[in-house]
Structure 1
Amino acid sequence: MGVKIVAQDKRDVGRAIWNGMKLKCPHCGEGHMFRGYLKVADSCDACGEELKHHRADDGPPYIAIMIVGHLLVGIMLHMEIAMQVNPLTYLYTMLPLAVILPLAMLPSIKGGLVGLQWANRMHGFDPNRPREIPEV
């Protein structure tokens, strides 16, 4: 019933986030993190690191919307100040960008978030964390 203590290896947060943003395993940087568009693989196909413990939830969409919103509002303000813009120009340019850009960013943002969780041993990524609550 004892808990096995595993030596803590040093995990580089920046490298793990970068590997995740490249859609690669945060541990080795070789294997694929995703098995679908946003579906994280259960484990790395190169090193076997378990990736199923992530808890990205709603974080990536919020981050993507915040980035794209700030970018598009800045562009729209610049267009209004610099020239007279027909409102249909916003409809034809900004609306497609507001849909396409977040969808293009989502996998990299989610990969970076999973890499951050792995590097900080959050959720199930900590080998020292007991898996079950011991009975009293």
Structure 2
Amino acid sequence: MILPDFTRTPFDRRDRPAGPPPAQFAVPKRRDCALPETLGTAALRGLRGCCPRCGEAELFHRFLKPVSICAHCGQDWSHQRADDFPAYVAIIVTGHIMAPLIIALARDFALSVTAMMAIIVPLALVLLLGLLQPAKGAIIALQWWWGMHGFEKERIAGAAEAGDDEP
């Protein structure tokens, strides 16, 4: 008995298999691209939605779906495992921004519950959706920088940061 593949959705393209692209479509990894000098630079590139390795190409081809391979430097991004962590980061940041606003609205203004909800709910949704993709890009950049989940740990000579456990 063959079980259905529950990892695929009706919106997935059926003409290409899930997972990393086949070897014949792989772009050779360029060694001449400008690697980031610090973790902060790589994370900022990810926040902007650019490839953390080269900073040139787009990191996402859909809202939260990263490209399999960078079009500029050839970095394979299929190793990334951000999972739910970007959502947690976006929720925590949204909560810390919204909490003082909610307290100020409740304390300083005589607004009805309906008026408060009309302000708070749309603002929270916009903040949450606006922070989700940058958080995922930064987390993918962190995974690449630290060499997690099969990424090659690449550095410019002498660019190791404090806290990195390199000999």
Which of 55, 58, 66 matches 2:81?
A: 55
Matches within 5 A, 1:35-50: 35-50=61-76
Q: Give the Cα separation in 1 of the matches to 2:148 and 2:36.
A: 14
Deviates more, 1:80-89 or 1:111-120: 80-89
TM-score by length of 2: 0.67
Higher relative contact order (CA closer than 8 Å, sequence separation 6+): 1
Code of the aligned partner of 1:82: D
- Given the superposition, is the C-alpha separation of residues 77 and 12 from structure 1 closer, same or farther in structure 2, using an over 3 Å criterion? same
1:12 is displaced (CA, Å) by: 2.4
Give the Cα separation in 1 of the matches to 2:99 and 2:40. 30
Corresponding residue number in structure 1 for 2:110: 84
SS of corresponding position for 2:51: coil
Match of 1:70 in 2: 96
Structure 2 residue 12 is matched with structure 1 residue 12: no
Worse overlay, 22-31 or 90-99: 90-99
Change in Cα spacing, 1:10 to 1:90, as seen in structure 2 (3 Å) is closer
SS at match of 2:139: helix
1:32 to 48, 58, 61: 58
- 1 CA distance for matches of 2:124 and 2:36? 39
Instruction: Mark the runs of 5 or more structure 2 residues left unpaired by the alignment.
Output: 1-34, 154-167
Contact 2:47 2:135 in 1 (8 A): yes
Is the Cα contact below 8 Å between 2:47 and 2:137 reproduced in 1?
yes
1:113 deviates by 0.4
Counting matched residue pairs gives: 120
1:112 is matched by which residue type in structure 2? A
Moved over 3 A (4+): none
TM-score by length of 1: 0.81
C-alpha separation between the residues in 2 aligned to 1:81 and 1:10? 46
Q: Classify the secondary structure of the residue corresponding to 1:123.
A: coil
Q: Contact (CA 8 Å) 2:82, 2:136: kept in 1 or not?
A: yes
Q: Which among 114, 124, 140 is matched to residue 98 of structure 1?
A: 124
Q: Gaps (5+ residues) in structure 1?
A: 1-8, 128-136
Is the helix fraction higher in 1 or 2? 1
